[in-house]
Amino acid sequence: MRCVALYFFIFVLALPHFACALTFGQNVQVHGFLSQGYLKSSNNNFLAASRSGSEEFTEVALNANVSFLQDFRIGGQLFYRNLGDYSEDEVVVDWAILEYQPFDSVGLRVGKCKLPFGLYNDTRDSSFLQPMIFLPQSIYDESRRDVNLAFIGADLFGNISLGRFGDVDYHLFTGQADYPDQSILAYKNEESVESIIARNNKLPLNKRDSQIPSQLTSFDRESEDLYGGAVVFNGLINGLRLGATLLHSKSLMKINHLSDPIGESITHSKYVLSAEYSYDSWMLVGEYSQTDRTSTMFGSVNLDGPSQSWYAMIYYTLNDAWSFSLLYDEFYRLKHDHHSDSFPKSPPESGWRKDIAVGARYDFNEMCNLKAEYHYIDGSAMQLGVVNPDGVARYWSYVAVKLSVSF
Nearest to 239 by CA among 287, 279, 281, 286: 279
Domains, the chain, in order of start with CATH, read 2-406 (2.40.160.10)
State residue 20's pLDDT score. 44
Question: Which amino acid is located at 310 in the chain?
Answer: W
Quick check: 18 pLDDT over 70?
no
State residue 13's pLDDT score. 42
Give the span between the Cα atoms of 110 and 73, in whole angstroms. Answer: 11
pLDDT per position as a tens digit, 166-188: 999 999 999 999 888 777 777 77
Residue pair 397/374 in contact (Cβ under 8 Å)? The answer is yes
pTM: 0.89
Give the span between the Cα atoms of 62 and 95, in whole angstroms. Answer: 11
Residue pair 195/187 in contact (Cβ under 8 Å)? The answer is no
Give the span between the Cα atoms of 79 and 97, in whole angstroms. Answer: 15
List, in order, residues 6 or more apart from 388 with CB less than 8 Å away.
44, 45
Q: What is the mean pLDDT of the chain?
A: 89
Task: State the pLDDT confidence band at 8, using cuts at 50, 70 and 90.
Answer: very low
pLDDT per position as a tens digit, 250-270: 999 999 988 889 989 999 999
Quick check: 321 pLDDT over 90?
yes
Length of the chain: 407
Give the span between the Cα atoms of 205 and 212, in whole angstroms. Answer: 12
Task: State the pLDDT confidence band at 7, using cuts at 50, 70 and 90.
Answer: very low
The residue that leads in pLDDT, 342 or 275, is 275
> In whole angstroms, how far apart are CA 357 and each of 128, 135, 325, 360?
19, 11, 8, 10
Give the span between the Cα atoms of 94 and 75, in whole angstroms. Answer: 11
Say what percent of the chain tops pLDDT 90. Answer: 62
Residue 16, classified by CB atoms within 10 Å of its CB into exposed (0-12), middle (13-18) or buried (19+), is: exposed
**DSSP alpha helices (H): ranges in 162-235?**
184-201
Give the span between the Cα atoms of 206 and 219, in whole angstroms. Answer: 26
State residue 385's pLDDT score. 76
Residue pair 62/30 in contact (Cβ under 8 Å)? The answer is yes
Residue 288, classified by CB atoms within 10 Å of its CB into exposed (0-12), middle (13-18) or buried (19+), is: middle
**DSSP alpha helices (H): ranges in 2-61?**
2-21
Q: Which of 13-22, 343-352, 379-388 has the lowest mean pLDDT?
A: 13-22
pLDDT per position as a tens digit, 57-84: 999 999 999 999 999 999 999 999 888 7
Give the span between the Cα atoms of 353 and 289, in whole angstroms. Answer: 14
Give the span between the Cα atoms of 315 and 135, in whole angstroms. Answer: 13
Phi, psi of 124, deg, nearest 5:
-65, -20
